[in-house]
């Protein structure tokens, strides 16, 4: 059964967690069965639990990518549900589902993610507009809007310059920010765009940004921290493959912990400076 807590993981919860753990690390649970250590014998749930046990103290959030579980059918959904339940209330849980459809469909997606799985946030594609995003705005939950992603194809549309002089992703951020507020709306900005992160921070000083693309995708962690951190923390920096697959041997969980700590070691000086951590 999924976790049934009514704990409100609002902005103050996130900031308190960042201060307590001295980290903004988010670990993406994008578990590819073909990349699991042989010792796991294909048991994804056991792998997830071992990774979570090894890294609980190193991160503030976990982000299961739904595609990796949905691809396994009903068994994958069971693994996803049990993984989220195993994480519990000690971390912020992001449903990386990238939903967004007509209003009544989005409402059903929201019910699945928030009422059934009890995640704290969901990634949303805003392309279809306000009525397709607002069903995800529910009390105590967060909407994480795709703005400027880290993949190569992000330049196809997101960085088109509009007649107003704005880039399309800037227009998306400005418009969607009015559908919620800094206490329930985040933006996805890829780690491969540090200069744009700085521009976005200037435009949205109080919003949290979810930053994918460090580790395997090569984002510059130092540049990201300098560009995006604020006095609340303000970033959720995601790493997935570099942590999950740090080793293919029986020490995979220990090496996952080491990789998470290595990322935190780079983040900490910048975080301490921005948040006046002792």
**C-alpha dist (Å) from residue 21 to 4, 90, 251, 268:** 24, 11, 24, 10
- Specify the pLDDT at position 17: 96
| Short-list 84, 124, 86, 92, CA closest to 9 | 92
pLDDT band at 2 (very low <50, low <70, confident <90, very high): very low
Q: Which domain holds residue 239?
A: 11-275
Q: Across residues 200-223, what is the average pLDDT?
A: 87
**What tokens appear for 86 in the block?**
């195993």
Q: Which ranges of the chain would DSSP assign to H, the alpha helix?
A: 11-21, 44-55, 66-70, 74-87, 103-110, 130-133, 168-176, 194-203, 221-228, 241-244, 252-275
Whether 1 maps to a domain, the answer reads no
pLDDT band at 215 (very low <50, low <70, confident <90, very high): low
| Average predicted confidence (pLDDT) for the chain | 94
Return the number of other C-beta atoms located less than 10 Å from residue 273's C-beta.
12
Whether 82 maps to a domain, the answer reads yes
Whether 223 maps to a domain, the answer reads yes
Please check the confidence at residue 104 and state whether its pLDDT lies above 50: yes
Please check the confidence at residue 216 and state whether its pLDDT lies above 60: no
Whether 48 maps to a domain, the answer reads yes
**What tokens appear for 238 in the block?**
């995601």
Q: Domain containing 145 — which CATH number?
A: 3.20.20.70
Q: Across residues 71-75, what is the average pLDDT?
A: 97
Whether 3 maps to a domain, the answer reads no
Q: Tell me the catalytic residues.
A: 98
* Integer Cα distance of 247 and 18 in angstroms: 27
User: 237-247: per-residue pLDDT in tens?
Assistant: 999 999 999 99
Please check the confidence at residue 157 and state whether its pLDDT lies above 50: yes
- For the chain, the domain total comes to 1
Whether 111 maps to a domain, the answer reads yes
Please check the confidence at residue 16 and state whether its pLDDT lies above 90: yes
pLDDT band at 6 (very low <50, low <70, confident <90, very high): low
* 201 and 195 Cβ atoms separated by less than 8 Å: no
* Integer Cα distance of 82 and 199 in angstroms: 39
> For the chain, how many residues are written?
278
Q: Find residue 161's DSSP bridge partners.
A: 167
Q: Across residues 112-132, what is the average pLDDT?
A: 97
Whether 6 maps to a domain, the answer reads no
pLDDT band at 192 (very low <50, low <70, confident <90, very high): confident
- Specify the pLDDT at position 4: 45
Whether 2 maps to a domain, the answer reads no
Q: Across residues 21-33, what is the average pLDDT?
A: 97
Please check the confidence at residue 18 and state whether its pLDDT lies above 50: yes
* Integer Cα distance of 179 and 236 in angstroms: 21
Q: Is the torsion defined by CA of 189, 192, 197, 199 positive or negative?
A: negative
């Amino acid at each position: 059964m999924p976790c049934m807590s009514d704990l409100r993981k609002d902005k103050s919860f996130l900031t308190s967690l960042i201060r307590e753990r001295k980290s903004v690390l988010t670990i993406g649970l994008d578990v590819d069965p073909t990349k699991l250590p042989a010792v796991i014998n294909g048991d994804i749930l056991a792998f997830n639990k071992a990774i979570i046990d090894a890294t609980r103290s190193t991160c503030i959030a976990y982000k299961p990518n739904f595609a990796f579980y949905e691809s396994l059918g009903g068994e994958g959904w069971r693994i996803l549900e049990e993984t989220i339940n195993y994480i519990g209330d000690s971390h912020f849980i992001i449903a990386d589902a990238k939903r967004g459809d007509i209003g009544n469909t989005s409402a059903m997606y929201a019910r699945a993610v928030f009422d059934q799985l009890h995640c704290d946030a969901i990634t949303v594609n805003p392309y279809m507009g306000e009525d397709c995003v607002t069903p995800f705005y529910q009390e105590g939950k967060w909407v994480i809007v795709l703005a400027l992603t880290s993949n190569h194809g992000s330049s196809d549309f997101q960085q088109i310059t509009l007649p107003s002089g704005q880039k399309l992703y800037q227009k998306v951020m400005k418009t969607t920010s009015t559908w919620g507020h800094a206490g329930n709306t985040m933006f996805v900005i890829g780690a491969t765009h540090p200069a744009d992160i700085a521009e976005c921070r200037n435009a949205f000083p109080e919003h949290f940004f979810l930053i994918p693309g460090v580790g395997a995708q090569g984002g510059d962690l130092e540049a990201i921290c300098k560009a995006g951190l604020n006095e609340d923390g303000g970033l959720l920096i995601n790493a997935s493959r570099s942590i999950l697959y740090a080793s293919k041997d029986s020490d995979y969980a220990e090496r996952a912990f080491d990789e998470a700590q290595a990322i935190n070691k780079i983040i900490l000086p910048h975080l301490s400076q921005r948040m006046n951590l002792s």
